[in-house]
Structure 1
C-alpha cells in the first residue's frame, strides 16, 4: 500500500475556507476511485494555517490513475492558488 500525506500551508487566512472546500470535494470524489483504501482531511489544532490530506492507496497504479483524473487536477489546482503544498509518500 501507499500512503500520501499532503500538507497545505494556507497563505492567507481569508482563503482557508477555499482550500478546505476544495479538499472536501477532492476527498468525496477520491473515496470512489478504484484502489482507494482511505482518504481524509485534518486541520491542525496548533497552527491555523495548516491542513493535511491523508491518503492510502492499494498500489502505485491506483495512485497514478487518481492523479490523472479531472477532479484531482481541478481541486489540487484550486488549493495551490491559496496554499503551499508539501507531499510525503511512502510504501508500507
Structure 2
C-alpha cells in the first residue's frame, strides 16, 4: 500500500472556487483509476490557502499509471499554475 500526501499553497487572490474547479475533476477521475484505494482533498482550517491531497494506492505500478493518465497530466499543471510553489509530496509505504 502506498500513501501520498500532497500539500500546496495557493497564490494570493486565488479562491476556493478556482481550486475546486480543477481539483473536483482530478479527485473524481483519480478515484476511478485502477488501484486507487482513496483520493481526497482537504482545506486547512488553520492556515488559509493551504490544501492537502490524501491518496492511497494498491502499489507503485498503479500509482505510476495514474501519474501518466490523461486527467493527471492535464489537471496537475492547471493546479500548479494556481500555487505559490507547486505541490510538496510525501510518499509513505506500508
TM over 0.5: yes
Does the Cα contact within 8 Å between 2:43 and 2:52 map onto a contact in 1?
A: yes
Question: How far off is 1:19 after superposition?
Answer: 2.2
More helix by share: 1
Question: How far off is 1:14 after superposition?
Answer: 2.8
Deviation beyond 6 Å, 4+ runs, structure 1? none
SS in 1 for 2:81: helix
Pairwise CA RMSD: 1.1
Distance 1:70 1:17 in 2: 23
Query: Normalized against structure 2, the TM-score is what?
Result: 0.91
Gaps of 5+ in 1: none
Gaps of 5+ in 2: none
More strand by share: 1
How many residues align structurally? 92
Q: 1:1-92 maps to which residues of 2 (within 5 A)? A: 1-83=1-83, 84-92=86-94
